[in-house]
A and B are shown apart, each in its own frame.
Chain A
Amino acid sequence: MEKASLREAYGHALLELGRRNEDIVVLDADLSGSTKTRLFAQEFPHRFFNLGVAEQDMMGTAAGLAASGKTPFASTFAIFATGRAWEQVRQSIAYACLNVKIVASHGGITVGDDGGSHQSMEDIALMRILPNMVVTVPADAVEMRALIYAIAHYRGPVYVRGSRIKFPIIYNEDYRFQIGKGSIVREGEDITIIATGLMVHHGLEAAKELAKVGIEARVINMSTIKPIDKELIVKSAKITGIVLTAEEHLVLGGLGSAVCEVLAESYPIPVKCIGIRDRFGISGTSEALLSYFHLMPEDIVEEAKKLLSFKPHRLRAIA
């Protein structure tokens, strides 16, 4: 299966945007080689600002640039962007409602060997609780590129969670991202799997396995966590009667929470949230950690089957 780097996709999208739009400026905090903002820096050194290992100052500087009409993209690892500089993002960017795009790499546990200090399991939650902030998680490199273009034309603060590792390609090149819209990547009427990031691919793999035993899963890529696509969640819940969420993030405050908030208020049905449970990460390879934290396709299959037992018809027998 073809895989591609979200970071590379981001770096190239920035470069293309930078050639079109002089108001695009880019900031980094000593990680431009990792986040791939270096591509932009090399072509547009006067529009690139490395702030050194100073994420708080980077967010404030980005806010100032935005306040003067620039479209700043500020990048670093997810935990530093959202954790270290959280209050700067809150006060200087979200509260001010300034046009800053925070594009992080190294979200989730697939950071791998660097261990728990560098694995961000809480970034989606930290950004989701901020008023005015749009929160997005691309599922592959194609979506990353489409998303970067879309948010460059949106006025307001946006958080984009990228990853260290390459993701399998899901979308065709003609895919178009829309803020606030989930996309159905597989049709099915027995269970809805709502996933984000890498877990969209795992959801699709799980759906293939489930199909072998006659269970047709609808798989949704929820690439905007906020504002969440309430209409699509409720519509799908009505069709399938049960919903499973999957994310490489804490269930607490993440996609699972967001989906449950919608369903509890609008269409209460059984839900299972797959994600990390109230704990920090540890060192290991990405693959080993995905298994360790039960985030593999087989984990989704197992939980899906358990969830199906809540359904009062023929599928209970299969489960």
Chain B
Amino acid sequence: MQDRDIEKLKALAKEIRKDILIMLNKATSGHTGGSLSIVEILTALFFVKMYHRPDNPHFKERDRFILSKGHAAPALYAVLSNCGYFERKELFRLRKLGSCLQGHPDSKFTPGIEVPTGSLGQGLSMANGIALALRLDNIPSRVYVLLGDGEVQEGQVWEAAMTAAHYKIDNLCAILDNNRLQIDGWVRDVMGIEPLAKKWEAFGWCVFEIDGHDFNQILETLDKAEKIKGKPTIIIAHTIKGKGVSSFENQVKYHGVAPTDEELEKALKELDG
């Protein structure tokens, strides 16, 4: 879909949020807050920006997406299913034995997943490798990698940040889900990461900052990023953890717990309301 009808995208995001909540509730475990914070970003990428084919997930010229913050897998699964990579009913077997949907993304099980993630800090290095291979093969595809804000506390992220700048990897666009919370609390209290934009600039990246829930801003910035040559780009997306369900928003408690039946019922009503 290349349709930039924002109202349609908003409606789609709402359906994806509902899927995320239902699948997490059925799984009885998983990461709610950080899945809800990236819904607009993933929707904009998979339904507008990225060139990909759900009927042929491995075709060479596809744009690649890597969810480095792998614990937000439910959001990616909901989006992939809505794109048609696999049947919707699979969503509701999330985390179950024999399911194609593992607790964290796994390319061995799920169509549409490029590389396994889950152990934080490793996605950007892999994205660099993929982008370098595309460049060697003269394939004009782009690589998108989504990082968490807590995740950038991992040293490997900064090793990879140096690599992307050193090798002028401009077919790569990182997006940072800056929802300001991590398992143990506010990021600024656990281990401060600011000034984020200045850090990435100092590492040789082109930096944009946006509201990560505003489709217009997301799409405009993804377009701008594509025009940046000679250096990698990062979009720092300011988001709200638990976005869309008022009782979950900005609540550290919902980092790693699934909604109960009662919470689910209330949340679905709110989203539909």
Q: Is the CB of A67 within 8 A of B136?
A: no
Binds B, one of A48-56, A111-119, A163-171, A281-289: A48-56
Nearest CB in chain B to that of A96: its residue? B116
Q: Is the CB of A64 within 8 A of B163?
A: no
**A57→B203 CA distance, assembly (Å):** 15
Other-chain residue from B116, B119, B131, B137 in contact with A64 (beta carbon distance below 8 A): B131
A266 to chain B, nearest CB (A): 31
Q: Is the CB of A51 within 8 A of B163?
A: yes
Say if the beta carbon of A172 comes within 8 Å of chain B: no
**A61→B118 CA distance, assembly (Å):** 16
**A95→B167 CA distance, assembly (Å):** 27
How many A-B contacts at CB < 8 Å in the complex? 102
Q: Is the CB of B132 within 8 A of A61?
A: yes
Q: Is the CB of B160 within 8 A of A60?
A: yes
Other-chain residue from B106, B131, B162 in contact with A52 (beta carbon distance below 8 A): B162
Q: Is the CB of A64 within 8 A of B125?
A: yes
Q: Given A56-B156, A91-B118 in contact, is the A66-B125 Cβ separation under 8 Å?
A: no
Nearest CB in chain B to that of A70: its residue? B133
Other-chain residue from A57, A62, A65, A90 in contact with B156 (beta carbon distance below 8 A): A57
Say if the beta carbon of A214 comes within 8 Å of chain B: no
**A198→B166 CA distance, assembly (Å):** 39
Q: Is the CB of A64 within 8 A of B162?
A: no
Q: Given A60-B125, A92-B125 in contact, is the A47-B136 Cβ separation under 8 Å?
A: yes
**A133→B108 CA distance, assembly (Å):** 16
Say if the beta carbon of A304 comes within 8 Å of chain B: no
Q: With contacts A60-B122, A70-B133 known, what are 18 further pairs, Cβ within 8 A?
A: A47-B136, A51-B159, A52-B159, A52-B163, A56-B156, A56-B159, A57-B162, A60-B125, A60-B156, A61-B129, A63-B126, A64-B125, A65-B133, A67-B130, A88-B122, A91-B119, A92-B126, A95-B116
Query: Can you list 6 A-B contacts with CB-CB less than 8 angstroms, sorted by A residue number?
Result: A57-B156, A60-B128, A61-B129, A65-B133, A90-B119, A97-B108
